[in-house]
Amino acid sequence: MPIAISPQATVLPANTLRFYIHFPRPAEAHFDRDHLWLLDEEEQVVRDPFLVLSHELWSVDGHRLTVLMEPGRIKRGLGTDPAHEPALVVGRTYSLVVTALGRTAGHTFRVSDPVLKAVDETHWRLVSPAMGSLEPAVVHFDRVMDAALCEDEIEVLAPSGEVIQTRTSLAPDGTAARLTPDHPWRAGKHLLVVSERLEDVCGNRLGEALDHDLGAGGPPRAGMIDFTTRSVTTPSSAQAVGSAR
């Protein structure tokens, strides 16, 4: 298996906060930070784009590395110091490249305007699954979301209120999540429950933007969206989220 980089979106906001590097086997002992680069469209190395930590952010199994962008180079109003110049410039193209385990992987993307607003679940669209099926409930986001947090911070409650065991997978471009149940969907109204820890790729949460003016907005919050499983005779179609709490 090759090394994979996420998000895989071909267009990412200028204030993208983190990337994930997925290795086919535990790689902590084989990873060298000097073999991780951000290249501009002329294939020149961008200087110091990443946050340097005393310990790398590895998953428990050693297969996934979290790479954070240097906050001083994605947040507004930190001065004219060259160290605070944007690492990602709107309209330009970059490549994230890593070499480890004797392999090299890269992902190329174009930079769009920064996303400076809090996540708002009322802007999402949801495709309801058919009752009695193992179809996924599909949530279409209005932005690129954080893949790892989508897997951990979204769950579904059955009409009875119990948690439904689901497997969550994010589309490669980060704009849709599929929640596939372990057992067939029941009839009735379900709840998609979103933790206050859920973030988009820019670190924005429900009710709170990462890069916000002091005194503006409120703390991050959880969210809940109602959806009803459909009859097998009802066509599946994306629809605006009708009820959010």
Indicate if the pLDDT at residue 190 is higher than 90: yes
Between CA 75 and CA 82 the distance in angstroms is 14
Residue 86 to residue 76: CA distance in whole angstroms = 9
- Tens-place pLDDT, residues 30-77: 899 999 999 999 999 999 999 989 899 999 999 999 999 998 877 655
pLDDT of the residue at 78: 46
pLDDT at residue number 84: 62
- For residue 25, pLDDT over 80 is answered with yes
Q: What is the pLDDT of residue 100?
A: 94
Residue 69 pLDDT: 95
pLDDT of residue 242: 42
For 73-109, the pLDDT digits (tens) are 776 554 445 556 889 999 999 999 999 999 999 999 9
Tokens representing 245 are 């709490």
Q: What is the mean pLDDT of residues 181-209?
A: 96
Q: Is the pLDDT of residue 179 over 70?
A: yes
Distance CA 136, CA 184 (A): 10
pLDDT computed for residue 86 by the predictor: 87
Q: What is the mean predicted confidence (pLDDT) over 130-143? A: 97
Residue 83, class by beta-carbon neighbours within 10 Å (0-12 exposed, 13-18 middle, 19+ buried)? exposed
CA distances from 210 to 8, 16, 41, 110, 185 (A): 22, 11, 28, 22, 36
Integer-rounded Cα Rg, in Å, for the chain is: 20
Sheet holding 36-39, edge to edge: 11-13, 103-112, 93-100, 36-39
Q: How confident is the model at residue 243 (pLDDT cuts 50, 70, 90)?
A: very low
**Residue-level pLDDT at 238:** 52
Confidence of residue 219 (pLDDT cuts 50, 70, 90): confident
**Domains, the chain, with CATH or none:** 4-112 (2.60.40.1220), 121-240 (2.60.40.1220)
pLDDT at residue number 36: 97
**Tally of CB atoms within 10 A around 1:** 8
d(CA 4, CA 242): 36
What is the spatial distance between Cα 104 and Cα 22, in angstroms, rounded to a whole number?
A: 12
Mean pLDDT, rounded, of the chain: 90
pTM over 0.75: yes
pLDDT of residue 76: 53
Q: In what order do the strands lie in the sheet with 189-194?
A: 163-164, 154-157, 189-194, 223-228
pLDDT digits (tens, 9 = 90+) for 147-177: 999 999 999 999 999 999 999 999 999 999 9
d(CA 243, CA 245): 7
Q: Greater confidence, 239 or 110?
A: 110
